[in-house]
Chains A and B, each alone.
Chain A
Amino acid sequence: MQTDNLELKKLVYLYLMNYAKSQPDMAIMAVNTFVKDCEDPNPLIRALAVRTMGCIRVDKITEYLCEPLRKCLKDEDPYVRKTAAVCVAKLHDINAQLVEDQGFLDTLKDLISDSNPMVVANAVAALSEIAESHPSSNLLDLNPQSINKLLTALNECTEWGQIFILDCLANYMPKDDREAQSICERVTPRLSHANSAVVLSAVKVLMKFMEMLSKDLDYYGTLLKKLAPPLVTLLSAEPELQYVALRNINLIVQKRPEILKHEMKVFFVKYNDPIYVKLEKLDIMIRLASQANIAQVLAELKEYATEVDVDFVRKAVRAIGRCAIKVEQSAERCVSTLLDLIQTKVNYVVQEAIVVIKDIFRKYPNKYESVIATLCENLDSLDEPEARAAMIWIVGEYAERIDNADELLESFLEGFHDESTQVQLQLLTAIVKLFLKKPTETQELVQQVLSLATQDSDNPDLRDRGYIYWRLLSTDPVAAKEVVLAEKPLISEETDLIEPTLLDELICHIGTLASVYHKPPGAFVEGGRGVVHKSLPPRTGSSESAESPDTAPAGVPAADQPSVIPTQGDLLGDLLNLDLGPPVSGPPVATSSVQMGAVDLLGGGLDSLMGGGSGGFAPAPGTAVPSNTGAPLGSGLGDLFDLTGGVGTLSGSYVAPKTVWLPAMKAKGLEISGTFSRQVGSISMDLVLTNKALQVMSDFAIQFNRNSFGLAPAAPLQVHAPLAPNQSVEISLPLNTVGSVMKMDPLNNLQVAVKNNIDVFYFSTLYPLHILFVEDGKMERQMFLATWKDIPNENETQFQIKDCSLNADSVSSKLQGSNIFTIAKRNVEGQDMLYQSLKLTNGIWVLAELRIQPSNPSFTLSLKCRAPEVSQYVYQAYETILKN
């Protein structure tokens, strides 16, 4: 290590970095050399030493690192200073407390005013990263002076430094429109940089600050014009970057369609583009399609529909349909193009075409029915459920114009049981429609389908729909006609836009992974890092709330926003779809105005819920929730750990008594109380719904927001009869864990939306973690030993369970009931040691060591887990189970 050969030294250091972790004691011996090297006359060696030291993640070494680091931060050589700046971020990652205690953060802040631009850039990068893990601290308290410094450094530093600075600038909230404009003016030159990342980060800053500029301003128009050329230029970069650029352009086009409206041609697909570029370009083409360019677009799309890649062809066909719905003048052209494509007889093209033609019928009823004959010719070639369902819908809807509609439907009926649910439901509805239109000839057919649906089917949806039709037809055929043949509202134009609040958040993340995935960072980043919610600044003049970064971006007038049907999987989308069944049939799809209302409901409802919940209810991070303290709060969020009596059943795991989750006064008379249980491998939510209002309640449905373990209802909420006033009903809702996952805080928080005929209500509740302990959570002894050693010691957490008077055996059997398995029991010096394992539904193993002293009523619980954040909740579960 003490060699003078720089190259050799680098290699030794590299070796140290890689092996220090496995042999910390050996690494300690290197400390002296590091300290010595930090004082070397050669700046390259000083920097090398401080850089390497930060990479050695051994606690003992970090202590020795502080002094040399302090010196290096004030080194005369900029190369050493810029390396030291990054080293602070490294140290913070290992030991955040140490960095704060030693005052490195202040030194780092001072470096923002450094004379060397690269030092400034690295300091900004380090501070931004540290600030992200402390969302509350105002580490980067950006003010006009510091912004000015950053903007000066921006002109001088390397391309990478420019990216750091621009990304940091994007988090700043200018005081007024004039400041926003002056920053924009100084950022625009970056749009001509050769590095695409610099360009995209500059675009991010501009898109964000543009929100604050008044639309009447000349500068606003100039800025819009300046944004288009660089975005187009990004498309001549390498394909991977094109992909990133296209994903971002997709967002920009949705937010500000005016920027690229004349640039349609550059998104035309080239034959040699990689498939991921092709698919993205296609998406943007549809978004830009308008009356002015539709002819060109259609010609292109038709060309694409003959390509090789199946996915691409399908998307192209779908795009033609979307054009028809978007640009009314082009509908006729689109339909004839689709018919041409059907003539090609390529199986998947035909199927895709039929699906989109169905949508066109929904948009322009009674206009293009002449094509039905052509569609019917292809009946036999349809083998995908969606295409079959679409075709059946068309036949049912236009039964009176198709002479042999009954024969066609009958042919489908033969293989009724082999069809997918979607097709079955569609077939049922179509035949009922047919019957209502031509009652005389089709009586037999309708009876056949009703009996197939009600008697021979296991599917509850199908059975229910069958019974409803049956009852309707037998009691009041006129009413049946009104229901089944009701006039349907037209489908809305844009069905695939990103929901506006999410879009605004993604605009704040232009250039980053979030914008590539089109998901907020919380959906794919672990832990608290980078999950800070970002939002666009509100428009000037709208309100004073500009200071608070957390206000929802409400500034944009709603009229400007296109109406949006949220994507499926979205909480709201599902709620609305609940009673829709398959996409095309049944009751009307909500019209756009209804949906806008609902969007607000969701935003407002959930936000206030979360605000209220975390304020009064969520346990402070890092401290365990003591049992028996949390009483049900006025907000109606029941505390599951408020355990007043009730003994867990022996057969299954412990079930807490029901608590009130949603008080009647909060939910227009609907009171919901409930609890969670786990029995023989299935989780359920046991609910009591009480109607305390004066009117009858019906049409119940339930939906969960995404949560940490993907809990989701396994079946719809079934309340068989309407709930009369002062009546209550007990329901056990089976749950599964295959829903979408989003980390919640606290981890076991579950946000629930319940809908009935009156309104939609929201509440949140905490579920005990032990409902997620699975039955096969018993680990092999050997495995246990190996795993216990393998998990690093930092992941071990210790808890005390007080006032528990059980002995080891009864503890063990009690825990076993809740799927916490004792693997070994040892008696050491009069203490009983229980070694236990459990597994969560998402496959996380938790290992436990429970120490029981006969004389002492408090037990010591040590938990080891690769995901240490669950430990606290496992402890709560332990306590809950043992004390009841």
Chain B
Amino acid sequence: MIGGLFIYNHKGEVLISRVYRDDIGRNAVDAFRVNVIHARQQVRSPVTNIARTSFFHVKRSNIWLAAVTKQNVNAAMVFEFLYKMCDVMTAYFGKISEENIKNNFVLIYELLDEILDFGYPQNSETGALKTFITQQGIKSQHQTKEEQSQITSQVTGQIGWRREGIKYRRNELFLDVLESVNLLMSPQGQVLSAHVSGRVVMKSYLSGMPECKFGMNDKIVIEKQGKGTADETGKSELGSGKQSIAIDDCTFHQCVRLSKFDSERSISFIPPDGEFELMRYRTTKDIILPFRVIPLVREVGRTKLEVKVVIKSNFKPSLLAQKIEVRIPTPLNTSGVQVICMKGKAKYKASENAIVWKIKRMAGMKESQISAEIELLPTNDKKKWARPPISMNFEVPFAPSGLKVRYLKVFEPKLNYSDHDVIKWVRYIGRSGIYETRC
């Protein structure tokens, strides 16, 4: 199990050091600094073994978090724990920075004591932790006995993520379907790989212990119900018009009853209060690629490159894509660039070795073009320029996977509000993940 946990700043100075096991000596702290933080070359692995001691590290901005062990621990668990710890810290004091860590020194030790016991991760749900580890302190003596046992039963109970007795005057919930669409396309326009990784984020403000049931246009469910053909929805506002989608795989927040999903493929749960990620999913079939990038690079002699890039939007004309950014890499020996674009603004950024072309808004089924002349300094470097891919960023108001929320039903048998009283909001946002076209 985890033997110790260290947090360093970018210089390698120790900010937090908590040792759980005796086999971790004091020299372990220095060993990591010398061998990893101050190492000359780039980090080649997130797991380092120094003198039979294994170090797992993750970096958040310029803060290093390292877990240390001398045993054969579950490596995936250690990393999951480190991420979780970052989440907990962010939930408590915002951004993980040197200043914030120093200011919340006591709190962090208190948290570390609670979420890791003898190197075993314990309950790390922020919702539950916040009931008894507070930044104000001085709460303990005012708690009644009922409150105390309520805390402990929540921390250890089956529904560790929600406390009893939550009340809202207005029962409301927000569902965000956030997708990032990833693409790798060859210069000839052939799709090498494309997938959507999506998340359903739910913000719930519901009273009591509501039982929720979530439904979407999952192909397996629709086909099971036998009405995949004659669907009444008819709301196919996208160009695709298909009613159900094939989900390759999905994972759920721990509140979802997995055994029920496995047997009936229904998603039922009691949600945590506030914001949480209900599910993640992945699709690879029938993805709507919102943009197509057509690059044309021509080398004119040894000191000049001509680049022409056309982007085409491929969705309903009534929808608007936003925050479009196309990044066209330039060789290292670029001396000057002239850019002409029809729409938006384009700039050559020497520090990033790229031409950055930004368009604020663009409707569907449109086309736009940029052309650039790149002057090169003559070099005697034999190695050819590697031609990194052209990447793209954007945001569109639909789900490129075609996913639709069919329903989200809320039942709360004990309190007197029904599914109809709950105000529900659904929003779809598709963003670019790694959206690259080779040139």
Q: Which residues of A approach B to under 8 Å, CB–CB? A: 4-7, 10-11, 14, 41-45, 47, 51, 54-55, 57, 77-80, 82-83, 86-87, 89-90, 93, 116-119, 122, 125, 129, 155-160, 163-164, 167, 186, 188-190, 192-197, 199-201, 229-230, 232-233, 236, 238-241, 243-245, 265-266, 268, 270-272, 274-276, 296, 299-300, 303, 306-308, 344-346, 509, 511-517, 521, 524-526, 529-530
Contacts and interface: CB of A to CB of B under 8 A. Distances in A.
B258 A193 contact: yes
Interface stretch (B39-47, B94-102, B396-404, B423-431): B39-47
Contacts of B156: 78-79, 82, 116, 118-119
A570 to B, nearest CB: 19
B387 interface: yes
Contacts of A54: 118
Nearest to A45: B140
A303 B438 contact: yes
Given A10-B113, A77-B149, A236 B282 contact: yes
B122 A160 contact: yes
Contact of B46 (A7, A129, A239): A239
A195 B124 CA distance: 13
16 contacts: A6-B141, A10-B113, A42-B143, A55-B20, A93-B22, A118-B155, A188-B262, A192-B261, A193-B258, A196-B76, A240-B46, A244-B75, A511-B76, A511-B77, A517-B49, A524-B52
A512 B75 contact: yes
B22 A57 contact: yes
B46 A243 contact: yes
A155 B258 contact: yes
Interface string B176-187: 000000001010
A276 B56 CA distance: 14
B14 to A, nearest CB: 14
A194 B280 contact: yes
A275 B44 contact: yes
A79 B280 contact: no
A189 B71 contact: no
Interface string B328-343: 0000000000000000
Interface in B29-83: 42-47, 49, 52, 54, 56-58, 69-77, 79-83
A766 B150 CA distance: 62
Interface in B372-411: 382-384, 386-389, 391
A94 to B, nearest CB: 8
Contact of B434 (A238, A265, A270, A308): A270
B106 A11 contact: yes
Contacts of A197: 74, 76-77, 79-80
B153 interface: yes
A530 B72 CA distance: 7
Nearest to A264: B193
A7 B118 contact: no
Nearest to A515: B75
B434 A193 contact: no
A116 to B, nearest CB: 6
A452 B181 CA distance: 64
Contacts of B80: 159, 195-197, 241
Leading 5 A-B pairs by shortest Cβ distance: A229-B249, A79-B152, A6-B140, A197-B76, A189-B262
Interface stretch (B131-139, B305-313, B412-420): B131-139
Contact of B75 (A89, A307, A516): A516
Interface string B5-16: 000000000000
Contact of B118 (A89, A272, A344, A511): A89
Centre residue among A11, A197, A274 by max chain B CB count within 10 A: A197
Contact of A195 (B1, B193, B254, B387): B254
Contact of A511 (B54, B74, B253): B74
B137 A7 contact: yes
A702 to B, nearest CB: 28
B254 A193 contact: yes
Contacts of A77: 149, 152
Nearest to B17: A18
A520 to B, nearest CB: 9
Contact of A4 (B140, B248, B277, B280): B140
B152 A163 contact: no
A83 B118 CA distance: 10
A344 B248 contact: no
A86 B117 contact: yes
A238 B120 contact: no
Contacts of B186: 299
Given A188-B262, A194-B252, A346-B382, A271 B389 contact: yes
B141 A4 contact: yes
Contacts of B132: 44
A345 B123 CA distance: 57
B184 A268 contact: yes
B151 interface: yes
B123 A238 contact: no
Q: Which residue of A5, A79, A155, A345 has the most chain B CB atoms within 10 A of its CB atom? A: A79
B148 interface: yes
Contact of B74 (A44, A83, A163, A274): A163
Nearest to A9: B140
B149 A43 contact: yes
Contacts of B277: 194
Given A197-B80, A276-B44, A299-B186, 7 more contacts: A79-B156, A158-B125, A160-B124, A189-B259, A192-B258, A240-B46, A515-B75
B262 to A, nearest CB: 4
A619 to B, nearest CB: 25
A275 B42 contact: yes
A167 B74 contact: yes
A265 B251 contact: no
B72 A513 contact: yes
B432 interface: no
Q: Which of B72, B118, B153 lies at the interface centre, i.e. has the most chain A CB atoms within 10 A of its CB?
A: B72
Nearest to A265: B193
A8 to B, nearest CB: 8
Contacts of B124: 158, 160
A89 B153 CA distance: 23
B350 interface: no
B72 A525 contact: yes
Interface string B86-110: 0000000000000000000010011
A54 B20 CA distance: 11
B259 A268 contact: no
Interface in B258-288: 258-259, 261-262, 277, 279-280, 282
Contact of B258 (A55, A190, A241, A511): A190
A395 B347 CA distance: 54
Nearest to B250: A192
